[in-house]
Structure 1
Amino acid sequence: MKAVVFAGPSICGMEKGDLAEVDLRPPAACGDILRACRDGVSRIGIVDGVFESCPSVWHKEILFALALGVEVSGAASMGALRAAECHRFGMQGVGVIFEQYLSGQRIADADVAVLHAPPELAYRPLTVALVDVEATIAQLSGLKLLVASQAPALLAAARVLHFKERTWSRILDVAGFDQRATEMLARNLQSHTVSQKTLDAKELIKRLGMAGTAPHAITAAQLNRTIYLDTLQATIAAPAPVGGLGK
């Protein structure tokens, strides 16, 4: 059985061939990991997850999967957050963003958040995550395409914007450069934008295609079951309603 990967905006634009070896599912929401376990999945990768439109994937359901012996890995976005939070219980983290959260170098959940399109439009990102802004600024600086004052000005502009408003156009507006500098930066951004989220997601998916199972630090006997977990499991196990009218 293929590994299951929950992803959306972080993999937008990836080649289909890069995703051929995994069972791709929408961004993870509360209950999705339990559903994957009911399907008999042995390897799960979390890249993206919901957090505002409906409840986020629970830590407890990740621990439940680990206690069953399921290999759970995370990267890039919600996956990096959960991997850093559940790392000592056996969840595996992949990529630069995960390492930043695990080390404490990065602490804000909002650093990976984006506004994105619906599934019909392949979850295309409509704004840019702060982690990707930082990666792009580093790329432009390394290529000597920024003068000394521009990098901190771009970063400050990106940080002051809410993730639902953070686009490169708005960042350039807030940074307040003159017209010539703004136009030059806009041209350079077309060719040198970096998505660290996508790079980390690719690394996770590549690893899931390799053999080998990561060790788990929690067993079924050690899992502290709660009424909330039991209720969520019962809800997922219940058959979907058939027929009738609703709203």
Structure 2
Amino acid sequence: MAKLYVVGIGPGGKEHMTQKALETIKRSDVIVGYTFYIELINDFLEGKKVISTGMKGELERCKAAIEEVKNGFDTCIISTGDPGLYGMAGPILEMADGIEVEVIPGVSAAFCGASELGAPIMHDFCTISLSDLLTPWELIEKRLDLAAEADFVIALYNPKSMGRQTQIERAVEIIKRHKKGSTPVGLIKNAGREGNEKRVYTLDTIDFDFIDMMTVVVIGNSKTYINNDKIITPRGYSI
């Protein structure tokens, strides 16, 4: 019986893909994904049927993947990072009826970016997407406020797009209600893949012009500090 695999390919660089993700892609008959994600794994697609769609085609891709499995083909639908974090695992499991599904985890951009910055998420942290396509902006603001008040390290996904230029500035404004302006901030563009670039700032000095849709913003907690351009959030050990 054919099976549907929901695979996390990591942040995009092949060196950050898990062995299981690679093996699953190689043995699948059909690969389904967002056009940009498909390009990231192009080396592994020879001889396979490839189905890709552009932005906002998530449900279309899910339906196509499910249909391929029902037609008897082992099918892999891919997400960057981990498929259970803003990825395809949720909608696939909600839509799949009568077919076998396996979720293959992947390295998220937050973890990959954190490793490039140092150790900024050594303690409790949360991820918040600034995209309001599926979540009301009022709810996003509430989550930002409460996460900052609780002193979480915060990783911001989807901080800016062509249609959302000022939300990141508003997010920082909200966070600064509870965090000092000296709180370290790490910006990682294209974490773990070609075009990678990182910068270290504070909430007071952050360069908003550097940020785009491919950037993850990591904001420290009250104990986070910068040491030789590395951001460190202490776990609490006596060192």
| Fold similarity call, TM over 0.5 | no
Structure 2 length-normalised TM: 0.32
Instruction: Report 1 or 2 for greater relative contact order, CA contacts < 8 Å, sequence distance ≥ 6.
Output: 1
**More strand per residue:** 2
**More helix per residue:** 1
The structure with the largest alpha-carbon Rg is 1
